Amino acid sequence: MLAVKTLKNDSNIFRHAAWLMGNQFEISVVATDAVKAGEQISAAINEITRIEKLLSGLTENSTVNEINRNAGIKPVKVDAEIYKLIDRSLQISELTHGTFDITYFSADADSKSASNHNNYKNVVLDPVNVTVFLKEGGMRISFAALNKGYATDRAKYILQLSGVSNGVINAGGDLLAWGLQPDNEPWTIATADPEQQNHPYSNTVISNMCFAASAGAGKPDAANKKSYLDTKNGFPVSSIMSVGIISPTAELSNALTGPVRAMGVNAGLYLINQLNQIACVIIDDHNRVYTSKGIS
Protein backbone atom coordinates (compact mmCIF):
# COMPACT_ATOMS: atom_id res chain seq x y z
CA MET A 1 0.00 0.00 0.00
CA LEU A 2 1.34 3.42 -0.97
CA ALA A 3 1.77 6.15 1.61
CA VAL A 4 1.23 9.62 0.15
CA LYS A 5 2.60 12.96 1.24
CA THR A 6 0.49 15.69 -0.40
CA LEU A 7 2.18 18.96 -1.34
CA LYS A 8 0.98 22.36 -2.47
CA ASN A 9 1.73 21.75 -6.13
CA ASP A 10 0.46 18.86 -8.24
CA SER A 11 3.30 16.53 -7.22
CA ASN A 12 3.09 14.07 -4.36
CA ILE A 13 5.67 11.87 -2.68
CA PHE A 14 4.49 8.27 -2.92
CA ARG A 15 6.16 5.82 -0.52
CA HIS A 16 6.14 2.06 -0.17
CA ALA A 17 8.03 -0.02 2.42
CA ALA A 18 8.96 -3.69 2.03
CA TRP A 19 11.22 -6.20 3.76
CA LEU A 20 13.83 -7.21 1.18
CA MET A 21 17.30 -8.80 1.38
CA GLY A 22 17.03 -8.89 5.16
CA ASN A 23 16.54 -5.12 5.31
CA GLN A 24 13.67 -2.66 5.46
CA PHE A 25 13.51 -0.87 2.11
CA GLU A 26 11.41 2.25 1.64
CA ILE A 27 11.06 3.57 -1.90
CA SER A 28 9.80 7.14 -2.37
CA VAL A 29 9.02 8.70 -5.75
CA VAL A 30 7.83 12.18 -6.69
CA ALA A 31 4.85 11.80 -9.04
CA THR A 32 1.37 13.04 -9.89
CA ASP A 33 -0.28 9.68 -10.66
CA ALA A 34 -0.71 7.19 -7.80
CA VAL A 35 -1.35 4.20 -10.09
CA LYS A 36 1.72 4.82 -12.20
CA ALA A 37 3.85 5.48 -9.10
CA GLY A 38 2.72 2.13 -7.68
CA GLU A 39 3.68 0.33 -10.88
CA GLN A 40 7.08 2.00 -10.93
CA ILE A 41 7.78 1.07 -7.33
CA SER A 42 6.66 -2.53 -7.94
CA ALA A 43 9.13 -2.79 -10.83
CA ALA A 44 11.92 -1.54 -8.55
CA ILE A 45 11.01 -4.11 -5.88
CA ASN A 46 11.07 -6.88 -8.51
CA GLU A 47 14.57 -5.78 -9.49
CA ILE A 48 15.79 -5.90 -5.89
CA THR A 49 14.37 -9.43 -5.61
CA ARG A 50 16.16 -10.43 -8.82
CA ILE A 51 19.51 -9.15 -7.51
CA GLU A 52 19.03 -11.00 -4.23
CA LYS A 53 18.61 -14.29 -6.12
CA LEU A 54 21.45 -13.49 -8.53
CA LEU A 55 24.03 -12.83 -5.82
CA SER A 56 22.85 -15.37 -3.26
CA GLY A 57 25.17 -18.08 -2.05
CA LEU A 58 22.23 -20.05 -0.65
CA THR A 59 20.89 -21.28 -3.99
CA GLU A 60 22.65 -24.47 -5.05
CA ASN A 61 22.79 -23.60 -8.76
CA SER A 62 23.70 -19.93 -8.34
CA THR A 63 26.66 -18.44 -10.18
CA VAL A 64 28.36 -17.67 -6.87
CA ASN A 65 28.25 -21.32 -5.83
CA GLU A 66 29.44 -22.44 -9.27
CA ILE A 67 32.49 -20.19 -8.94
CA ASN A 68 33.18 -21.43 -5.41
CA ARG A 69 32.78 -25.11 -6.30
CA ASN A 70 35.42 -24.75 -9.01
CA ALA A 71 37.99 -22.98 -6.85
CA GLY A 72 41.43 -24.32 -7.74
CA ILE A 73 39.91 -26.43 -10.53
CA LYS A 74 38.85 -24.36 -13.52
CA PRO A 75 37.52 -20.93 -14.63
CA VAL A 76 33.76 -20.47 -14.65
CA LYS A 77 31.88 -18.71 -17.44
CA VAL A 78 29.67 -15.96 -16.00
CA ASP A 79 27.32 -13.36 -17.39
CA ALA A 80 28.48 -9.78 -17.91
CA GLU A 81 26.63 -8.48 -14.86
CA ILE A 82 28.41 -10.80 -12.41
CA TYR A 83 31.73 -10.28 -14.17
CA LYS A 84 31.54 -6.48 -13.92
CA LEU A 85 30.51 -6.63 -10.27
CA ILE A 86 33.50 -8.81 -9.39
CA ASP A 87 35.77 -6.56 -11.44
CA ARG A 88 34.58 -3.49 -9.51
CA SER A 89 35.02 -5.40 -6.25
CA LEU A 90 38.64 -6.12 -7.06
CA GLN A 91 39.21 -2.47 -7.91
CA ILE A 92 37.85 -1.46 -4.49
CA SER A 93 40.15 -4.06 -2.90
CA GLU A 94 43.10 -2.54 -4.72
CA LEU A 95 42.03 0.96 -3.69
CA THR A 96 41.79 -0.04 -0.02
CA HIS A 97 44.97 -2.17 -0.08
CA GLY A 98 42.96 -5.31 0.54
CA THR A 99 40.94 -4.01 3.49
CA PHE A 100 37.86 -4.63 1.37
CA ASP A 101 37.87 -8.20 0.08
CA ILE A 102 35.02 -10.37 -1.24
CA THR A 103 37.13 -13.52 -0.81
CA TYR A 104 37.31 -15.82 2.19
CA PHE A 105 38.27 -19.43 2.87
CA SER A 106 35.97 -22.31 3.74
CA ALA A 107 35.94 -23.81 7.22
CA ASP A 108 37.64 -26.99 6.02
CA ALA A 109 40.42 -25.17 4.14
CA ASP A 110 44.04 -25.70 5.18
CA SER A 111 44.61 -23.12 7.95
CA LYS A 112 48.30 -22.92 7.09
CA SER A 113 47.48 -21.41 3.72
CA ALA A 114 44.49 -19.34 4.84
CA SER A 115 46.17 -16.11 3.75
CA ASN A 116 46.14 -17.42 0.18
CA HIS A 117 42.38 -17.94 0.25
CA ASN A 118 41.47 -14.61 1.79
CA ASN A 119 43.22 -12.62 -0.89
CA TYR A 120 41.54 -10.79 -3.77
CA LYS A 121 44.73 -11.09 -5.82
CA ASN A 122 43.97 -14.79 -6.25
CA VAL A 123 40.82 -14.00 -8.23
CA VAL A 124 41.61 -14.23 -11.94
CA LEU A 125 39.33 -12.51 -14.46
CA ASP A 126 39.44 -13.23 -18.17
CA PRO A 127 37.73 -10.39 -20.08
CA VAL A 128 37.94 -12.21 -23.41
CA ASN A 129 36.17 -15.38 -22.29
CA VAL A 130 34.26 -13.62 -19.46
CA THR A 131 35.35 -16.14 -16.84
CA VAL A 132 36.18 -16.05 -13.13
CA PHE A 133 38.76 -18.35 -11.56
CA LEU A 134 39.67 -18.72 -7.88
CA LYS A 135 43.26 -19.89 -7.93
CA GLU A 136 43.30 -21.80 -4.63
CA GLY A 137 41.19 -24.76 -3.57
CA GLY A 138 38.98 -23.89 -0.59
CA MET A 139 38.81 -20.26 -1.64
CA ARG A 140 35.37 -18.64 -1.76
CA ILE A 141 33.75 -15.33 -2.72
CA SER A 142 30.73 -13.64 -1.21
CA PHE A 143 28.80 -10.54 -2.27
CA ALA A 144 27.44 -9.91 1.24
CA ALA A 145 29.25 -6.56 1.47
CA LEU A 146 27.93 -5.40 -1.91
CA ASN A 147 24.54 -6.93 -2.60
CA LYS A 148 22.35 -4.38 -0.80
CA GLY A 149 24.15 -1.42 -2.37
CA TYR A 150 24.13 -2.92 -5.85
CA ALA A 151 20.43 -3.80 -5.56
CA THR A 152 19.68 -0.22 -4.49
CA ASP A 153 21.53 1.19 -7.50
CA ARG A 154 19.67 -1.18 -9.81
CA ALA A 155 16.31 -0.21 -8.29
CA LYS A 156 17.13 3.44 -8.93
CA TYR A 157 18.05 2.59 -12.54
CA ILE A 158 14.72 0.83 -13.07
CA LEU A 159 12.83 3.77 -11.58
CA GLN A 160 14.65 6.27 -13.76
CA LEU A 161 14.10 4.09 -16.81
CA SER A 162 10.36 4.21 -16.11
CA GLY A 163 10.38 8.00 -15.88
CA VAL A 164 11.01 8.71 -12.18
CA SER A 165 13.20 11.81 -12.21
CA ASN A 166 13.08 12.48 -8.46
CA GLY A 167 13.14 9.97 -5.64
CA VAL A 168 14.78 8.40 -2.61
CA ILE A 169 15.50 4.79 -1.69
CA ASN A 170 16.06 4.06 1.98
CA ALA A 171 17.79 0.70 2.18
CA GLY A 172 18.06 -0.21 5.83
CA GLY A 173 19.09 3.33 6.73
CA ASP A 174 21.32 3.95 3.71
CA LEU A 175 19.88 6.69 1.52
CA LEU A 176 20.19 6.95 -2.26
CA ALA A 177 18.59 10.12 -3.62
CA TRP A 178 18.30 11.68 -7.07
CA GLY A 179 16.68 14.75 -8.55
CA LEU A 180 14.87 17.23 -6.32
CA GLN A 181 12.01 17.41 -3.86
CA PRO A 182 8.65 18.66 -5.22
CA ASP A 183 9.51 22.18 -4.00
CA ASN A 184 12.67 22.05 -6.17
CA GLU A 185 14.89 21.87 -3.08
CA PRO A 186 17.63 19.23 -2.94
CA TRP A 187 17.30 16.17 -0.75
CA THR A 188 19.27 16.58 2.48
CA ILE A 189 20.23 14.43 5.45
CA ALA A 190 20.98 15.45 9.03
CA THR A 191 23.88 13.35 10.33
CA ALA A 192 24.35 12.80 14.04
CA ASP A 193 26.32 10.91 16.67
CA PRO A 194 24.58 7.50 17.13
CA GLU A 195 24.45 8.17 20.88
CA GLN A 196 22.93 11.63 20.35
CA GLN A 197 20.59 11.10 17.41
CA ASN A 198 18.39 14.07 18.28
CA HIS A 199 21.31 16.48 17.95
CA PRO A 200 22.47 16.56 14.31
CA TYR A 201 25.77 18.27 13.63
CA SER A 202 25.57 18.52 9.85
CA ASN A 203 22.89 19.00 7.18
CA THR A 204 24.33 17.51 4.01
CA VAL A 205 22.92 17.61 0.49
CA ILE A 206 22.60 14.07 -0.90
CA SER A 207 20.74 14.70 -4.17
CA ASN A 208 22.26 12.40 -6.82
CA MET A 209 24.38 10.76 -4.12
CA CYS A 210 24.18 7.94 -1.60
CA PHE A 211 24.81 8.19 2.13
CA ALA A 212 25.69 4.87 3.81
CA ALA A 213 26.58 4.51 7.47
CA SER A 214 28.23 1.86 9.61
CA ALA A 215 28.14 2.07 13.40
CA GLY A 216 29.63 -0.16 16.07
CA ALA A 217 27.99 -1.24 19.26
CA GLY A 218 29.88 1.39 21.23
CA LYS A 219 33.27 1.92 22.81
CA PRO A 220 35.65 -1.03 23.04
CA ASP A 221 35.94 -2.48 26.52
CA ALA A 222 39.19 -2.94 28.37
CA ALA A 223 39.42 -6.62 27.43
CA ASN A 224 39.42 -5.74 23.75
CA LYS A 225 41.69 -2.72 24.03
CA LYS A 226 44.61 -4.68 22.61
CA SER A 227 42.84 -4.47 19.24
CA TYR A 228 43.36 -0.73 19.26
CA LEU A 229 47.06 -0.53 20.04
CA ASP A 230 49.50 1.52 18.01
CA THR A 231 51.79 -1.23 16.73
CA LYS A 232 54.79 1.11 16.77
CA ASN A 233 54.77 2.30 20.38
CA GLY A 234 52.14 0.12 22.08
CA PHE A 235 49.89 2.97 23.24
CA PRO A 236 46.10 2.72 22.86
CA VAL A 237 44.66 4.66 19.91
CA SER A 238 41.13 5.82 19.21
CA SER A 239 38.85 3.47 17.30
CA ILE A 240 36.04 4.50 14.96
CA MET A 241 32.57 4.24 16.47
CA SER A 242 30.70 5.18 13.29
CA VAL A 243 31.43 6.25 9.74
CA GLY A 244 29.20 7.69 7.03
CA ILE A 245 30.26 7.59 3.38
CA ILE A 246 28.81 9.79 0.64
CA SER A 247 29.43 8.78 -2.98
CA PRO A 248 27.56 8.69 -6.31
CA THR A 249 26.47 5.04 -5.87
CA ALA A 250 25.06 2.90 -3.08
CA GLU A 251 27.41 0.09 -4.06
CA LEU A 252 30.52 2.20 -3.48
CA SER A 253 29.23 3.90 -0.32
CA ASN A 254 28.39 0.53 1.24
CA ALA A 255 31.68 -1.02 0.17
CA LEU A 256 33.80 1.74 1.72
CA THR A 257 32.20 1.94 5.17
CA GLY A 258 33.87 -1.24 6.44
CA PRO A 259 37.38 -0.47 5.14
CA VAL A 260 37.35 3.07 6.52
CA ARG A 261 36.31 1.78 9.96
CA ALA A 262 39.07 -0.82 9.83
CA MET A 263 41.73 1.64 8.70
CA GLY A 264 41.18 4.10 11.53
CA VAL A 265 40.62 7.84 11.49
CA ASN A 266 43.82 9.11 9.89
CA ALA A 267 44.21 6.46 7.21
CA GLY A 268 40.48 6.52 6.47
CA LEU A 269 40.40 10.28 6.00
CA TYR A 270 43.55 10.17 3.89
CA LEU A 271 41.98 7.59 1.57
CA ILE A 272 38.69 9.45 1.16
CA ASN A 273 40.42 12.79 0.57
CA GLN A 274 42.26 11.29 -2.43
CA LEU A 275 39.02 10.34 -4.17
CA ASN A 276 36.74 12.46 -6.33
CA GLN A 277 33.04 12.86 -5.45
CA ILE A 278 33.44 10.91 -2.22
CA ALA A 279 33.24 12.26 1.34
CA CYS A 280 32.94 10.89 4.84
CA VAL A 281 31.99 11.74 8.41
CA ILE A 282 33.74 9.80 11.18
CA ILE A 283 33.02 9.66 14.91
CA ASP A 284 35.62 8.03 17.16
CA ASP A 285 35.14 6.30 20.50
CA HIS A 286 35.62 9.62 22.30
CA ASN A 287 32.72 11.19 20.33
CA ARG A 288 35.10 13.37 18.33
CA VAL A 289 33.83 14.20 14.83
CA TYR A 290 36.10 14.16 11.76
CA THR A 291 35.05 15.14 8.25
CA SER A 292 36.72 14.81 4.90
CA LYS A 293 37.19 17.67 2.47
CA GLY A 294 33.96 19.24 1.28
CA ILE A 295 31.94 18.64 4.46
CA SER A 296 31.68 21.39 7.04
| pLDDT tens for each residue of 54-80 | 998 888 889 999 999 999 999 999 999
pLDDT of residue 81: 97
Nearest-angstrom CA–CA distance, 3 and 63? 37
Spatial distance between the Cα atoms of 70 and 211, rounded to a whole number of angstroms: 36
63 in Cβ contact with 54 (< 8 Å): yes
**DSSP per position, 31-76:** ES-HHHHHHHHHHHHHHHHHHHHHH-SSSTTSHHHHHHHTTTT--E
End-to-end CA distance of the chain: 39
pLDDT in tens, 162-212: 999 999 999 999 999 999 988 888 888 765 555 555 555 556 788 899 999
Domains and CATH numbers, the chain: 63-141 (1.10.3980.10), 186-291 (3.10.520.10)
pLDDT digits (tens, 9 = 90+) for 36-52: 999 999 999 999 999 99
Over range 226-254, report the average pLDDT.
71
CA 228/CA 224 separation, integer angstroms: 8
Res 234: pLDDT: 44
Assign 104 a pLDDT band (cuts: 50, 70, 90).
Answer: very high
Q: Is residue 237 scored above 60 in pLDDT?
A: no
Which pTM value belongs to this model?
Answer: 0.84
Q: CB within 8 A of 44, min separation 6: which ones?
A: 27, 155, 156, 158, 159, 169
Give CA 14 to chain center in angstroms.
25
